[in-house]
Amino acid sequence: MSARLRIPPHARRDLAFAVLTLALFCAVTFVFPAFASPRNIAGLLDDTAILIMLALGQTLVILGRGIDLSIAANLALCGMLAALFNRAWPGAGVAPVLALTLVSGGLLGACNGLLVWKLRLPPIVVTLGTMSVFRGAIYLLSRGAWVNENEMSRDFLAFPRREFLGVSLLAWIALAVAAAFVVALRRTRVARDLYAAGGNPEAASYSGIDPGRMQFIAYTLCGAIAGVCGYLWVARFAVAYTDIALGFELSVIAACLIGGVAIAGGVGSAAGVILGCLFIGIIRNSLPLVGISAFWQMFINGVVILAAVLLSARQREFKRTILEVRA
Amino acid sequence: MKRASLLRWETMLAAVLVFEFILFSTISPYFLNVDTLSDATFNFTERAIVALPLALLIIAGEIDISVAAIIALASVAMGLASAQGLGTASVAGVGLGTGFLAGCINGALVTLGRVPSIVATIGTMTLFRGAAYAVLGDRVLKDYPDSFAAFGQGYLVGPISIELALFAGFAMVFAVFLHRTRWGRAIFAIGANPVASRFAGVAVNRYRFALFALTGLFSGLAAVLLTSRLGSTRPSIAQGWELEIISMVILGGVSVWGGKGSIGGVVLAALVFGLVTFGLGLMNIPGIVMSIFTGLLLILVVAVPALLNRR
């Protein structure tokens, strides 16, 4: 560990993780040179794009000491809304669909945020509840039926697949969102307020920041991202049904944890989370090359999560345990 | 004051239960029948058995998201053991042992590794479920000894299944343990204020570790019952149960902030859960619609006290 270097502790983690991710990438490329081909890298970005966006949204919520278990159900509900809208008005184009999912996702997120902010309910219970409600709502909306590829308009399906410079539009959107998060989390006032609120809510409220309001904003943004991702997901996989992205909320949270976001709030960076998602993506894409069954993916993820959180726990040890006695 | 609102919640759950009984028996003539009711217990006892130790864990201010993954891992271990030709007792032993070990890993991560329990168990959830997939892939294990079916399909006396008897017995043991012993008091104290408990001489981490191990052991038990009832193991077994079991506990009035809750509430919530699922089945309403009600109920449980105690 280069503890002597004058790099702030958190950037140090991101830097180490970047080196690790790069090393993993190089190792796979060394054995399978085709892995670094532009075609494959574009595919890798396309595969991880939705995870990156969702994980960044979730990061906002976790930074503010919340958690959003309803993120995947929100995605599925907005995805279904998009598919049904498109079926009803196939000629309307993509712009209204994007607007619809952005707004509906944001509203669903705002429901979570309001309950957490105004009633001070525990985030895990609120989002566990809304998760079930959203899933049930999809069933009611669709009456349990699937919306299949042949019921979707060509524009609707083609939008995320359109390619610029060999990279899909879906990946470009994720890259744009990622860049926006990297800048916004470091440079905007609202982000600094969010860090402050999550790091120490009492101190934050003494300095004029309402931690509840910051959580509300985080949930709303996270919901809006999940909503748009719902459309992108449905268009990419060309099908919408009640159970899409079932259980994906935990994968998203896992990506945040690997990326160094602290569940206790106030700690985490956009760069770390993006690296975490890429790390997962590289493993997922290289397993078939190395000849390991795809069934090992989840197990490897588990090992990575535990390694990441154990290391983070050691780093943070002194900060939060001034009074706690070691048993 | 707090004790009173807690009581109120349990009365409310009991009222919901009575209401369900009346509703379903007027809707379906087949409902108020001993055999029907006995069948109805099968769709919640396995989950409810895990809800008991998980309630203690949540009261102590921790959480375990990995319970369903432990069930899957234990089920896979049992499938492999019985493929090796082990007898019924040993197969069940393997299931319980796997669950216990998995629980100990969670406990070690939280106490020795000092990882927040939600984070640690999201990690182990992925690890355990991942191990189940890695070992089994898309295969199915189903050569269990014939007598193994007794755990999940057998009856103790008359219409009372072994599963139901186990749940009832353990519910009483847990109720006495939590509400009548000093260990139970210590669990409430840890949940209310771990630092103060530590200064008061409670071995906080020892309790935490034991509770995680206990939750693992009972997940192993649930795995024995579920595997025996289904007669087969797939890595996707008990998928999504973690959130259902946690919902059950919270619906029972246990506070996720720790320090509050009762076994009586959890038992009532389990019954409400089981009856609703079963009754809606009688009415041909799909389970996913019910999830809207459970979701709203879950938010209501925490919202009502919050609205009442508003400062």
Of A85 and A6, the structure prediction assigns the larger pLDDT to A85
The verdict on residue A273 lying in a domain is yes
Supply the range of the domain harboring residue A156. Answer: 9-22+36-312
* Angstroms from A200 CA to nearest CA on chain B: 17
Check whether A318 has a pLDDT greater than 50.
no
Average pLDDT over residues A71-95: 91
Check whether A93 has a pLDDT greater than 70.
yes
The verdict on residue A1 lying in a domain is no
Interface membership of B202 toward A (CB under 8 Å): no
CA distance A17 to B223: 38
Of A293 and B196, the structure prediction assigns the larger pLDDT to B196
For residue A158, name the pLDDT band (cuts at 50, 70, 90).
confident
Q: Which of B115, B129, B137 is nearest to B70 (CA)?
A: B129
For residue B283, name the pLDDT band (cuts at 50, 70, 90).
confident
Average pLDDT over residues B92-119: 94
For residue B275, name the pLDDT band (cuts at 50, 70, 90).
confident
The verdict on residue A324 lying in a domain is no
Average pLDDT over residues A18-46: 88
The verdict on residue A27 lying in a domain is no
Lowest mean pLDDT among A131-135, A236-240, B131-135, B287-291: B287-291
Check whether A322 has a pLDDT greater than 50.
no
Residues with Cβ within 8 Å of A314's Cβ and at least 6 positions away in sequence, in order, are B114
Of B113, B292, B297, which has the smallest distance from its Cβ to A310's Cβ?
B113
Of A121, A136, A327, which has the smallest distance from its Cβ to B289's Cβ?
A136
- What CATH number is associated with residue A139? 1.10.3470
Provide the 8-state DSSP code for A263: T
Model pLDDT, residue B281: 78
Which residue of chain A is at minimal alpha-carbon distance from B194? A324
Instruction: Say what percent of chain A tops pLDDT 90.
Output: 41
For chain A, what's the residue count?
Answer: 327
Of B122, B194, B288, which has the smallest distance from its Cβ to A257's Cβ?
B122
The verdict on residue A44 lying in a domain is yes
Contact A136 B295 (CB under 8 A): yes
| CB atoms closer than 10 angstroms to residue B4 | 8
- Whether the model pTM is above 0.90: no
Chain A, chain B: beta-carbon pairs less than 8 Å apart:
160
Contact B250 A300 (CB under 8 A): no
Model pLDDT, residue A4: 57
Specify whether the CB–CB gap between B191 and B81 falls below 8 A: no
Residues with Cβ within 8 Å of A268's Cβ and at least 6 positions away in sequence, in order, are A59, A62, A63, A256, A259, A260, A261, A262
Of B113, B131, B240, which has the smallest distance from its Cβ to A313's Cβ?
B113
For residue B208, name the pLDDT band (cuts at 50, 70, 90).
very high
CA distance A249 to A135: 13
Specify whether the CB–CB gap between B278 and B40 falls below 8 A: yes
For residue A81, name the pLDDT band (cuts at 50, 70, 90).
very high
Model pLDDT, residue B1: 42
Please report the residues numbered 66 through 105 in chain B whose beta carbons come closer than 8 angstroms to any beta carbon of chain A. Answer: none
Average pLDDT over residues B191-220: 95
Q: CATH for B2-308? A: 1.10.3470
Q: Give this complex's ipTM.
A: 0.84
Radius of gyration of chain A (CA): 20
Residues of B in contact with A247 (CB under 8 A): 239-240
Average pLDDT over residues A65-93: 91
Model pLDDT, residue A315: 65
Best-predicted range by mean pLDDT (A1-15, A122-136, B61-75):
B61-75
Q: Which of B119, B130, B148, B135 is nearest to B223 (CA)?
A: B148
Model pLDDT, residue B130: 92
Check whether B6 has a pLDDT greater than 70.
no
* Phi/psi at B261 (5° precision): 145, 165
Which residue of chain A is at minimal alpha-carbon distance from B239? A247
Number of domains in chain A: 1
Check whether B7 has a pLDDT greater than 60.
no
Model pLDDT, residue A284: 84
Domain-wise residue ranges, chain B: 2-308
Residues of B in contact with A139 (CB under 8 A): 286, 288-289
Residues of B in contact with A325 (CB under 8 A): 195, 198-199
Average pLDDT across chain B, whole number: 89
The verdict on residue A323 lying in a domain is no
Contact B134 A298 (CB under 8 A): yes
The verdict on residue A88 lying in a domain is yes
Average pLDDT over residues B292-296: 83
Average pLDDT across chain A, whole number: 87
Instruction: Say what percent of chain A tops pLDDT 70.
Output: 93
Residues with Cβ within 8 Å of B111's Cβ and at least 6 positions away in sequence, in order, are A327, B205, B208, B209
Model pLDDT, residue B178: 94
In terms of Cβ atoms closer than 10 Å to its own Cβ (0-12, 13-18, 19+), residue A39 is: exposed
Q: Any idea of the CA torsion for A310, A315, A318, A323, to the nearest 10 degrees?
A: -20
Residues with Cβ within 8 Å of A305's Cβ and at least 6 positions away in sequence, in order, are A254, A257, A258, B122, B123, B126, B127
